[in-house]
Every structure is written in structure tokens, then in C-alpha cells.
């Protein structure tokens, strides 16, 4: 059960990452340096910061042994 929750968290983290693209696209539709542009750009940076923290937590909890990281090594 705990393993399933880890992978659900992984998928949720990827979903959070994809929202940064949405905010970036919304920022690109605004005039450069307008309040809307700055707000969506700040949202993009904020979401990427949250993603970075969550990604580090997931890496810490999911086992990645050396054979999985380097399959070409004997």
C-alpha cells in the first residue's frame, strides 16, 4: 500500500510540474512586464520551486539502486 502511495505522489508531482507550462503559456499571452505577466511568471517560478522540493522528497523515498541507475555496467 505504501508503494502505491509513493507512485501516486510521483504522478501528482508530475502533474504539478505540468501546471508550470500552463502558467508560462498564460504569461506569454500578456504584454511584457504587465502585472498579469509578472503574476503568471511568479506562479511559474513558485510551482517549479514546489516541484523541486517534492521531487527531492520522492527521490529520497523511492529506492534507486546502482544496477537500475546504470544498466550498462556489469
pTM, 2 dp: 0.73
What pLDDT is attached to residue 5?
A: 84
Give the model confidence (pLDDT) of 14-56 as tens digits: 999 999 999 999 999 999 999 999 999 999 999 999 999 998 9
- How far apart (Å, rounded) are the C-alpha atoms in residues 11 and 14? 5
- How far apart (Å, rounded) are the C-alpha atoms in residues 65 and 74? 14
30: DSSP letter: S
Amino acid at each position: 500500500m505504501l508503494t502505491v502511495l509513493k507512485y501516486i505522489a510521483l504522478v501528482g508531482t508530475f502533474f504539478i510540474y505540468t501546471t508550470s507550462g500552463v502558467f508560462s503559456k498564460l504569461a506569454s499571452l500578456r504584454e511584457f512586464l504587465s502585472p498579469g505577466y509578472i503574476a503568471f511568471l511568479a506562479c511559474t517560478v513558485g510551482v517549479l520551486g514546489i516541484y523541486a522540493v517534492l521531487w527531492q522528497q520522492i527521490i529520497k523515498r523511492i529506492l534507486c539502486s546502482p544496477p537500475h541507475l546504470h544498466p550498462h555496467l556489469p
